[in-house]
A and B are shown apart, each in its own frame.
Chain A
Amino acid sequence: EIVMTQSPATLSVSPGERATLSCRASQTVGSNLAWYQQKPGQAPRLLIYGASARATGFPARFSGSGSGTEFTLTISSLQSEDFAVYYCQQYNSWPWRTFGQGTKVEIK
């Protein structure tokens, strides 16, 4: 099983600042990496797929990068609606899927 490890567990950021979230895979997943945003009481929402493609409805301040085993989600200028928990997920080996444990982005 591919293990996904996210860091940090919690990120405290002021509105308008940049946030950088990391995700590491225990073995290579190529570019088969997605990010999800989850707000309290809601289902997760697909944010990034293919490591860097933005899903419908998300603004350009969200960007993803990386390949292989190291991935990054960057939020260039945090808005109030961006405070949430973010999960990475690999989909390299069909049909097995695994998630990271999540990074909570909170207001500093």
Chain B
Amino acid sequence: QVQLVQSGAEVKKPGASVKVSCKASGYTFTNYYMYWVRQAPGQGLEWMGIINPSGGSTTYAQKFQDRVTMTRDTSTSTVYMELSSLRSEDTAVYYCARDGVSGVPAAGTFDYWGQGTLVTVSS
């Protein structure tokens, strides 16, 4: 079965960086794009960007363009999201989510989600 397992919670100081991992299993890793989405406490969902695990190409939301880097390791079927220059407003749960529906890749929808990683930014 498809699983996306994310790394554990992080506490960071303002100005630091955080790197969150998302390990995929149960499907062919390179066949499906992966998104990153975040959710601040009590708030809605915010799309951060997308990575193609096959070639590694990325597209980032303009809001995060200067601070986010998404990478992948095909040998371990893992994608990573690194966010730099952290500020208190970055405190949120960060999710990875697969692009697909009913087994069809590149559908534009988020069919499987990781469990979320809480990143807390506090001095």
Interface residues of chain A, those whose CB is within 8 Å of chain B, are 1, 32, 34, 36, 38, 43-46, 49, 55-56, 87, 89, 91-92, 94-102
Contacts of B115 in A (CB 8 A): 43
Contacts of A36 in B (CB 8 A): 45, 110
**CB contacts between A and B, total, < 8 Å:** 60
In the bound complex, CA of A28 to CA of B102 (Å):
25
Interface residue tally of chain B, by bracket?
A: 20 to 34
- Of the listed residues B47, B62, B115, the one surrounded by the most CB atoms of chain A closer than 10 A to its CB is B47
Decide: B111 and A46 in contact? CB cutoff 8 A: yes
> Taking CB as reference atom, which chain A residue is nearest B107?
A49
In the bound complex, CA of A36 to CA of B46 (Å):
13
> Taking CB as reference atom, which chain B residue is nearest A56?
B102
Decide: B113 and A49 in contact? CB cutoff 8 A: no
Within 8 Å of chain A (Cβ to Cβ): is B35? Answer: yes
